[in-house]
C-alpha cells in the first residue's frame, strides 16, 4: 500500500513567534516618543491614533492566528482520538467540475466525497495535483476521513493497486 496523500496537522507554537517582535515595536513606539513622532508625521495621523491602530491590528492578527491554530488542533485531536472513518474500495461516479476552480466528487462504497482546490482547506485532500491521474474511475483506494455532515474531509489516501 502506497500513501498518496497525508495531512500533517502542525500545532507547534511557532505560529505565534511573530508576536514578540510586534510587541517589541509597540513598546518601542510607546516608550520612545521619537519613533512614534516620526511614524505619526509620515502617516499624518495623531500619536494616539497610530498606537491604537497598531494595537487593534495586532489583536486582529492574533485572533485570526489563534482561530486557525484552534481549528488545526481540533482536527489533530480527532485524528489522534481515532474519531474518523476508514473506507476501502474502488472509486465510482467520478465527476470533474471545471469552473473558476477545479472541483471533483466521487463515491466510495456509497459515501460521496466532494472537494475543490479553492474552497477546500489545505489541510485536506483536494486533488491539487490532478495531472498525476491518481484519482480516476475504478482506482482502488483506502480513504481516511473526518465526516462533518455532508462534508467528508479526506486527510489520508492510500493506493491499493
With bands split at pLDDT 50, 70 and 90, how would you rate the model's confidence at 72? Answer: very high
- Helical ranges in the chain per DSSP H: 19-31, 33-43, 47-80
pLDDT tens-digit readout, 8-61: 888 888 888 888 999 998 888 888 888 888 888 998 999 899 899 999 999 999
If you average pLDDT over residues 86-115, what whole number do you get? 89
pLDDT score of 98: 77
pLDDT band at 100, cuts 50/70/90?
confident
- pLDDT band at 88, cuts 50/70/90? very high
Give Cα separations from 117 to 76, 96, 129, 139 (angstroms). Answer: 21, 12, 10, 21
Q: Which grid cell sits at 36?
A: 512614534
pLDDT (tens digit, 9 = 90+) per residue, 15-27?
888 889 999 988 8
Q: Where are the domains of the chain?
A: 5-80, 84-159
Amino acid at each position: 500500500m502506497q500513501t498518496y496523500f497525508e495531512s500533517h496537522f502542525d500545532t507547534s507554537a511557532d505560529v505565534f513567534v511573530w508576536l514578540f517582535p510586534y510587541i517589541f515595536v509597540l513598546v518601542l513606539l510607546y516608550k520612545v516618543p521619537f519613533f512614534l513622532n516620526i511614524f505619526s508625521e509620515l502617516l499624518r495621523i495623531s500619536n494616539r491614533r497610530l498606537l491604537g491602530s497598531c494595537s487593534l491590528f495586532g489583536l486582529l492578527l492574533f485572533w485570526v492566528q489563534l482561530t486557525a491554530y484552534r481549528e488545526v488542533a481540533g482536527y489533530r485531536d480527532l485524528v489522534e482520538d481515532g474519531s474518523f472513518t476508514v473506507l476501502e474500495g474502488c472509486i465510482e461516479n467520478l465527476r470533474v467540475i471545471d469552473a473558476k476552480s477545479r472541483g471533483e466528487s466521487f463515491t466510495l462504497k456509497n459515501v460521496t466525497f466532494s472537494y475543490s482546490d479553492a474552497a477546500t482547506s489545505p489541510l485536506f485532500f483536494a486533488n491539487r495535483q490532478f495531472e498525476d491521474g491518481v484519482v480516476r474511475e475504478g482506482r482502488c483506494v483506502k480513504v481516511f476521513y473526518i465526516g462533518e455532515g455532508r462534508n467528508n474531509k479526506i486527510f489520508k489516501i492510500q493506493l491499493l493497486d
